[in-house]
């Protein structure tokens, strides 16, 4: 009885996070999975039946949200997962219009997303709830503070480690001039961890799974291990509560000079390394579906220590079955 299946659309089917969410949901007998991407060559599209593959505009395009709302209505989508950063704020800002066509957005609130986008705002919000590296704007007052060098300088809103620099001394800091789109931050010299957090729709933290990123390729962890260490889970949970997280986020922590895990940033979406967290015992995409559908979910889910390595896998297609995507930015050189 296909009518009783929950219809779920997952965007970002070309990325590792999208593929992880699609695979998690495909494993459930009660879900009909639709996959979308801007690019017909996105591999995750070919994990779902042909009738379930969708091409969408680029997340940055002005028509993206309108088209998604239309698509969700036409396809009678019950739950929408977006795994693409640039899509999330626009979708979350119009959550009511999605619910008017019968679609629940499985993403944090617009307010939480906007807080995470700006690392200065994030630091202010979390101050007092968890250890925050000293963070100031690159302005006269910020530069004038009594810093211990080296310090980190990075954009307030950045991704992919672009613009992150270690500044050796005061002369080098002063030479940067003033720019309030840039942060000065205490250097955290210790080990770094990513903590995948799942919070209920009331903000209760259900799971916080710390993992190390042992090898990273193009910003995605390709080898790592989960680590059971309460101070990491507790810090990430405190951060999640401070930002009002509902759903899934990835909290990045790094040990300070005094040996305490401190907040680097929060990515309020599914990480590409989600398969490790799922295999370790916390199937966050599936649990989030139950939360969104109002079904019972355990109040706390534990995990095991587990390591992973990854490799690419080939999928062979009839060339005629590859979806055509005029709006794929790749061919136009628009992608960053």
Binding residues for ligand ATP, per CB under 6 A? 133, 152, 154, 158-162, 164, 185-188, 192, 219, 252, 254, 264-265
Q: Which does 87 bind (CB under 5 to 8 A by kind): ligand ATP, Mg ion, none?
A: none
Q: Phi and psi (nearest 5°) for 5?
A: -75, 145
Nearest CB to ligand ATP, comparing residues 133 and 285: 133
As a whole number of angstroms, the distance between CA 58 and CA 227 comes to: 36
Q: Least Å distance between CB 78 and ligand ATP?
A: 31
Residues 219, 253, 210, 193, Cα dihedral to 10°:
50
Q: Which does 144 bind (CB under 5 to 8 A by kind): Mg ion, ligand ATP, none?
A: none
Q: Least Å distance between CB 265 and Mg ion?
A: 5
As a whole number of angstroms, the distance between CA 48 and CA 35 comes to: 7
Q: What is the DSSP letter of 267?
A: E
Q: Which does 220 bind (CB under 5 to 8 A by kind): Mg ion, ligand ATP, none?
A: none
Nearest CB to ligand ATP, comparing residues 71 and 188: 188
Nearest CB to Mg ion, comparing residues 164 and 260: 164
| Closest C-alpha among 191, 268, 193, 270 to residue 234 | 193
Q: Least Å distance between CB 267 and ligand ATP?
A: 7
Q: Which does 212 bind (CB under 5 to 8 A by kind): Mg ion, ligand ATP, none?
A: none
As a whole number of angstroms, the distance between CA 198 and CA 249 comes to: 7
Nearest CB to ligand ATP, comparing residues 219 and 298: 219
Q: Least Å distance between CB 183 and ligand ATP?
A: 9
Beta strand pairing call for 53-55 and 31-37 = parallel
Nearest CB to ligand ATP, comparing residues 139 and 252: 252
Q: Least Å distance between CB 321 and Mg ion?
A: 37
Q: At what angle do helices 16-26 and 284-292 cross, to 10 degrees?
A: 70
Q: Which does 275 bind (CB under 5 to 8 A by kind): Mg ion, ligand ATP, none?
A: none
Q: Least Å distance between CB 122 and ligand ATP?
A: 10
Q: Least Å distance between CB 307 and Mg ion?
A: 21
Q: Phi and psi (nearest 5°) for 144?
A: -70, -10
As a whole number of angstroms, the distance between CA 51 and CA 63 comes to: 23
Nearest CB to Mg ion, comparing residues 144 and 219: 219
Half-sphere exposure of 179 (CA within 13 A, CB side): 15
Site residues, Mg ion (CB under 5 A) = 252, 265
Please say whether the beta carbons of 170 and 149 come within 8 A: yes
Q: Which does 57 bind (CB under 5 to 8 A by kind): ligand ATP, Mg ion, none?
A: none
Please say whether the beta carbons of 81 and 44 come within 8 A: no
Nearest CB to ligand ATP, comparing residues 7 and 269: 269
As a whole number of angstroms, the distance between CA 93 and CA 138 comes to: 30
Nearest CB to ligand ATP, comparing residues 52 and 154: 154
Q: Least Å distance between CB 240 and ligand ATP?
A: 17
Q: Which helix (H) or strand (E) holds 19?
A: helix 16-26
Q: Which does 192 bind (CB under 5 to 8 A by kind): ligand ATP, Mg ion, none?
A: ligand ATP
As a whole number of angstroms, the distance between CA 99 and CA 117 comes to: 24
Q: Which does 217 bind (CB under 5 to 8 A by kind): Mg ion, ligand ATP, none?
A: none
Residue 161: CB partners within 8 Å, gap ≥ 6? Answer: 219
């Amino acid at each position: 009885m296909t009518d009783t299946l929950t219809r779920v659309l997952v965007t970002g089917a070309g990325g590792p996070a999208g593929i992880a969410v699609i695979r998690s949901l495909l494993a459930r007998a009660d879900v009909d999975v639709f996959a979308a991407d801007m690019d017909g060559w996105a591999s995750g599209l070919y994990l779902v039946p042909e009738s379930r593959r969708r091409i969408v505009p680029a997340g940055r395009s002005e028509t993206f949200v309108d088209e998604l709302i239309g698509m969700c209505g036409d396809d009678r989508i019950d739950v929408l997962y977006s795994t693409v950063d640039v899509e999330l704020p626009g979708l979350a800002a119009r959550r009511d219009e999605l619910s008017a066509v019968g679609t629940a957005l499985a993403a944090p609130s617009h307010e939480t997303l906007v807080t995470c986008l700006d690392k200065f705002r994030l630091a202010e919000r979390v101050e007092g709830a968890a250890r925050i590296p000293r963070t100031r704007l690159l302005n006269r007052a910020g530069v004038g503070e009594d810093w211990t060098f080296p310090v980190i300088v990075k954009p307030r809103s950045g991704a992919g480690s672009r613009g992150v620099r270690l500044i050796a001394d005061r002369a080098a800091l002063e030479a940067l001039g003033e720019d309030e789109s840039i942060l000065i931050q205490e250097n955290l010299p210790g080990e770094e961890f990513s903590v995948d957090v799942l919070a209920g729709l009331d903000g209760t933290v259900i799971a916080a799974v710390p993992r190390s990123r042992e090898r990273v390729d193009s910003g995605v962890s390709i080898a790592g291990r989960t680590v059971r260490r309460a101070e990491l889970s507790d810090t990430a949970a405190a951060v999640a509560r401070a930002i009002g997280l509902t759903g899934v986020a990835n909290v990045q922590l790094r040990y300070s000079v005094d040996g305490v895990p401190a907040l680097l940033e929060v990515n309020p979406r599914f990480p590409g390394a989600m398969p490790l967290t799922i295999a370790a015992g916390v199937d966050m995409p599936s649990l989030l579906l139950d939360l969104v559908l109002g079904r019972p979910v355990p109040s706390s889910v534990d995990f095991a220590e587990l390591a992973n390595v990854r490799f690419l896998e080939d999928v062979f297609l009839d060339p005629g079955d590859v979806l055509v995507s005029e709006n794929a930015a790749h061919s136009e050189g628009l992608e960053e």
